[in-house]
Amino acid sequence: NAGVTQTPKFQVLKTGQSMTLQCAQDMNHEYMSWYRQDPGMGLRLIHYSVGAGITDQGEVPNGYNVSRSTTEDFPLRLLSAAPSQTSVYFCASSYSRVRSTQYFGPGTRLTVL
How far apart, in Å, do the first and last CA atoms of the chain sit?
Answer: 36
Among 66, 74, 94, 110, binds another protein (CB under 8 A): 94
Among 60, 90, 110, 112, binds another protein (CB under 8 A): 90
Shortest spacing between CB 12 and another protein, in angstroms:
18
CA–CA separation, 54 and 67 (whole Å): 8
**What b/e sequence results for 10-48 when a residue is b if at least 16 CB atoms lie within 10 Å of its CB, and e otherwise?**
ebebeeeeebebbbbbeeebbbbbbbbeeeeeebebbbb
Provide the mask over 12-51, with x wherever binding to another protein is found by CB under 8 A and - wherever it is not: -------------------x-x-x----xxxxxx--x-x-
Contact status: 97 vs another protein (CB under 8 A): yes
Footprint of another protein (CB under 8 A): 4, 31, 33, 35, 40-45, 48, 50, 56, 58, 90, 92, 94, 97-107
